[in-house]
Structure 1
Amino acid sequence: MSINSAMLAGVSGLVANSSALAAISDNIANVNTVAYKRNQVNFANVVTAQSVKGKYSAGGVQGITRQFVSQQGLIQSSGSSTDLAISGDGFFVVAQKGAGLTASDARSFTRQGSFSVDAEGYLVNDSNLYLQGWPRQADGTYNVNPSDLNNMQSINVKNLGAAVAPTTRTTVNANLNAAGVISAAEATYNGTTVASMADYADDPSTGTRPDFVIELNLVDSQGGARKVNMAFLKADSPTGNTWHAEIYAVPASDVDVAGRPGQIAAGQVMFNADGSIDLTNTTLFGAAGATPEIVLDASGGAQPKWSDGLGIDAQTVSLNLDKITQYAQTSTVNSIGQNGAGVGNIVAIEVSENGIVSAIYDNSQIREVAKIGIATFPNPDGLTQVSGNAYRTTLAAGEMTIKEAGVGGAGQISPSSLEASTVDLSAEFTGLIQTQKAYSASSKIITTADQMLEELINIKR
């Protein structure tokens, strides 16, 4: 009968408004939760078929929960370099454990980017979810697959070991004195015999003393410091623009060579009439015009090589000698610039806008670790919510695609930033009042229907 349907409609109103209150309570409680997406309960009427003309049966109301997952929260600056926000569409891929991930382990998706480094070196957010990314391959690339989550691993930024960068290039800025006096020993100098400058460096009682020495400090493949000298002796030439030159290791035992102890190269360095170096006719590196470089094979390799006892890799050092001049001024070294760095340890973590996670070392080296993938869905509002401010895939959400940050519609990563919740407190408090009034009104329906039924029962008395 109609009175019963009215009572049931009141009950449905209580249930629907209870759901609305629960959603509002969740929103208010999570107003400060990073990247929280507000929920809302919308109401839809339920219509009961009217079988008797002129009579009406109430159907009531039902609550329909709607998620606003696709709504972008405000991006706010953070003081941590591992705090991340997504500016645009997409989600971070996360897992519930770090090491030993298998295909059967569940992955979820979140925009809560409050990541920090845990004791084992993994990037973990406040909900204890581990950030996933494509690990850097040995060739420096990333195996990016748009649909295979198994290519991604929990990103670890500590178990990388120390970083070493051997020297590969050196720039020398120096001047050789064009007015220098030719040494008496120049007349007997021979770079391939005991009269060499390399011999003098090994034992000052032998060999030929150079007029000028430039010291180069190289870093080897193990991060060790190796000294290599470039020695010059002014030659007795008609133009006065020729110098004898040698390159040798100090101590000589660092290098195994077939010629003089520690000697890597020997020849002549030529200068033009304007004082600039003439590399075209310089023979220090072999034939005239040869590439200026130091080439040493690995320990155990072919001579010239690093000594076997050192156990280090082959090394080629390019020498930029364009700034070596010959002017009538005191021989001097103006500057020496070179790359390479000894053993360094991780001091910071950096994430770029395109998702590259890099480790920063105290020797100024930067090592790429992984690339963060961004998961996108055709209908993110259709995802199902799970604990930890995360989501799981559903049919309603559509097919997932993993993209590189900023590519194909995926959002860019904002490092040192966090996404705020999308909760508007003023709107929630207004909804709270409306829900309270609607709940009271629904309860009044039940009270009124009960009174009418009581009147009906009293007719019989």
Structure 2
Amino acid sequence: MMRSLYSAVSGLKTHQTRMDVIGNNIANVNTEAFKSSSVRFSEIMYQTTEGATFGNAASGTGGKNAKQIGLGVVSGATAVNITGAGSAETTGNPFDLRLNDKNSTNFFIVSDGANKFFTRAGDFYVDGNGYLCMSSTGYTLQGWQVDANGNVMQDQVSALRVMSSATKTSAPEATTKAYVSGVLDKNDAQAADSGRVITIPFFDDLGYNYSAKFNIKKTNTDGTYDVKLTDIVDSKGNSLFDLDKDGNFQTTILDKPVLDANGKQIYDTVPVTDAEGRPVMNEDGTQQTKQVPRTVKTEYRYYNGKPIDVQDIFQNASLAFDQSEGTFTSISSATSAAADSIKLNLSVLNTQSASKNGSKFSDIDVDFSKSMNYNNNGTSTIGGMNGDIKDGSGKGKALGALTGISVNDDGKIYGSYDNGNTVLLCQISVAQFANASGLEKVGDNCYQTTLNSGDFDGIGVEISGDGSSIASGQLEMSNVDLSSQFTDMIVTQRGFQANSRVITTSDTLLEELINLKR
């Protein structure tokens, strides 16, 4: 038989293989993150009918090349255009993720529970157990967890769970900072009479909210006001202090120790007398004396049945303004020097007894520096607010409920809560390979490692390490180029047709040979 027949048959087979690949590419033109393939042809082998010879210098004849006849073609390789990124498709779904490669080809890591696979398809959803899973297969997305301090643990990857009993709420925080701002009108009749009342809201460590009520009253000196704490109420307006049946504060008068600036008891030296009040004398004729703790008669209120001095919570303070400018000058008390802020010592309540809610309070620094003393037609706008006046820190928070989940471009997944908290839940890690084209397609938009792709270390890498990123609300489309595919289809068709003509022509030659017998 003629060698051309078998060469043409191999040509038909390889062009059919190429057509199969083209057909698969076109079939997946709209498959998410599909990577197109192409066939590379390779010669099979050659039959040498005459070997090459050396030239003969003595006789003056040159060498001859070998005489070889090719025996056909074979599919040398199927190359996958795995590094060619597909176009972006905007979906608006926050769990649709697209990999933006910079210097390396990145892959999401997914698992079926037993094996790790790799994919460019980022269509994920939250399943009934709160895990991020592939929409097509249900494979769980892998990444890194966070520790108790909110730090990412970049160790072995595991399934990312974004919704659980632990992530549905965000812990409350006690208030530690507050401020008073606005205009305290110079002609405010209420401030000159009974005093202007303001409130400062705050939270305890369990997220219960309260309000501290203050009275700001004008003194006989222009530009100065007395500030004192009048009450602390809960969210329903009920005072934390014990009340009698008429709704008034339960009070008592007790001897309160007088302390020095260092918080130590002050003692007074007093003469010693006998039962009848006569002086007791020493042997040398001098009056005997003794050290007696200095005390002052003080009105105490009751908190959970125990007496407490309100001024231990907030010392009566003096608020001063610059009369020529109407701006804040300072706030001070008997125990605190002139400054921008003064402390509300709510921790005193913690030492007295447990609160009614079993929670604890934190001390609050109250900043008065943004209060003003202008003429505002008799109307004051001064008021209090929790949080630092500059950045809102120390505001305190109630228990927060999860309201949303977002994915940053570095793969970090955050939970947003209705108390204003934003908490890091976990981080998506990605896989990179020395030879990404060496990965083996296993269907369902997934790949697995091979001997020629490089191994996966079980940890992965941070996508932003080389400048790559993750885009949320987008998917990667197929990178199939239809114009190239149709061009390849034409070339493949003509190649198949030409090989079939070789068979037809070879058959004609054989027919002529057989006809020689006639």
TM-score range, shorter chain: 0.7 to 0.9
Of 110, 126, 130, the match for 2:119? 110
Task: Quote the Cα distance in structure 2 between the aligned partners of 1:358 and 1:459.
Answer: 86
Counterpart of 2:195, as a letter, is D
Task: Quote the Cα distance in structure 1 between the aligned partners of 2:311 and 2:122.
Answer: 56
State the partner residue of 2:28: 30
Mapping of residues 83-94 of structure 1, within 5 Å: 83-88=96-101, 89-94=104-109
State the partner residue of 2:80: 67
Q: Does the C-alpha gap of structure 1 residues 389 and 298 become closer, same or farther in structure 2, counting only changes over 3 Å? A: farther
Counterpart of 2:74, as a letter, is Q
Q: Secondary structure at the match of 1:442?
A: helix
Counterpart of 1:287, as a letter, is S
Tell whether the 8 Å contact from 2:202 to 2:386 is kept in structure 1 after alignment: no
Structure 1 residue 410: deviation in Å? 5.0
1:138 and 2:163 aligned? no
Can you list the C-alpha shifts for 1:288-332, whole angstroms capped at 9, x where unaligned? 257634454499x534x7x44312254343423211234464443
Of 223, 231, 240, the match for 1:253? 240
Structure 1 residue 173: deviation in Å? 1.1
State the partner residue of 1:127: 136
Aligned residues: 418
59-68 vs 314-323, greater mean Cα deviation: 314-323
Of 420, 427, 432, the match for 1:376? 432
Structure 1 residue 352: deviation in Å? 1.5
State the partner residue of 2:337: 288
1:431 and 2:488 aligned? yes
Task: Quote the Cα distance in structure 2 between the aligned partners of 1:182 and 1:349.
Answer: 49
1:153 and 2:159 aligned? yes
Q: Secondary structure at the match of 1:359?
A: strand
Tell whether the 8 Å contact from 1:272 to 1:278 is kept in structure 2 after alignment: yes
List gaps (5 residues or longer) in structure 2: 52-65, 242-302, 388-394
List gaps (5 residues or longer) in structure 1: 187-209
Q: Secondary structure at the match of 1:50?
A: strand
Counterpart of 1:438, as a letter, is G
Can you list the C-alpha shifts for 1:119-138, whole angstroms capped at 9, x where unaligned? 32222233333222222222
Please tell me the root mean square deviation across aligned C-alpha atoms, in Å.
3.5
Q: Secondary structure at the match of 2:314?
A: strand
Of 344, 347, 354, the match for 2:403? 347
Can you list the C-alpha shifts for 1:191-220, whole angstroms capped at 9, x where unaligned? xxxxxxxxxxxxxxxxxxx61221122233
Which has the higher Rg, Structure 1 or Structure 2? 2
Structure 1 residue 396: deviation in Å? 2.3
Task: Quote the Cα distance in structure 2 between the aligned partners of 1:278 and 1:56.
Answer: 104
State the partner residue of 2:254: none
State the partner residue of 1:172: 180
Q: Secondary structure at the match of 1:112?
A: coil
State the partner residue of 2:464: 406
Task: Quote the Cα distance in structure 2 between the aligned partners of 1:263 and 1:247.
Answer: 13
Give the fraction of aligned pairs with identical amino acids, expressed as a percent: 28
Q: Does the C-alpha gap of structure 1 residues 22 and 221 become closer, same or farther in structure 2, counting only changes over 3 Å? A: farther
Of 391, 409, 416, the match for 2:473? 416
State the partner residue of 1:336: 385
Tell whether the 8 Å contact from 1:235 to 1:244 is kept in structure 2 after alignment: no
Q: Secondary structure at the match of 1:266?
A: coil
Task: Quote the Cα distance in structure 1 between the aligned partners of 2:135 and 2:10.
Answer: 38
Task: Quote the Cα distance in structure 2 between the aligned partners of 1:415 and 1:32.
Answer: 20
Q: Does the C-alpha gap of structure 1 residues 312 and 61 become closer, same or farther in structure 2, counting only changes over 3 Å? A: farther
State the partner residue of 1:222: 206
Q: Does the C-alpha gap of structure 1 residues 379 and 57 become closer, same or farther in structure 2, counting only changes over 3 Å? A: same
Output the TM-score relative to the length of structure 2: 0.70
Mapping of residues 184-203 of structure 1, within 5 Å: none
Structure 1 residue 363: deviation in Å? 4.1
Task: Quote the Cα distance in structure 2 between the aligned partners of 1:295 and 1:51.
Answer: 105
State the partner residue of 1:45: 43
Task: Quote the Cα distance in structure 2 between the aligned partners of 1:298 and 1:17.
Answer: 88
Q: Does the C-alpha gap of structure 1 residues 298 and 135 become closer, same or farther in structure 2, counting only changes over 3 Å? A: farther
Tell whether the 8 Å contact from 2:109 to 2:429 is kept in structure 1 after alignment: no
Q: Does the C-alpha gap of structure 1 residues 337 and 252 become closer, same or farther in structure 2, counting only changes over 3 Å? A: closer
Q: Secondary structure at the match of 2:486?
A: helix
State the partner residue of 2:252: none
Task: Quote the Cα distance in structure 1 between the aligned partners of 2:439 and 2:467.
Answer: 17
Counterpart of 1:132, as a letter, is Q
Tell whether the 8 Å contact from 1:298 to 1:311 is kept in structure 2 after alignment: no
1:95 and 2:110 aligned? yes
Counterpart of 1:225, as a letter, is N
Output the TM-score relative to the length of structure 1: 0.78
Structure 1 residue 424: deviation in Å? 0.9
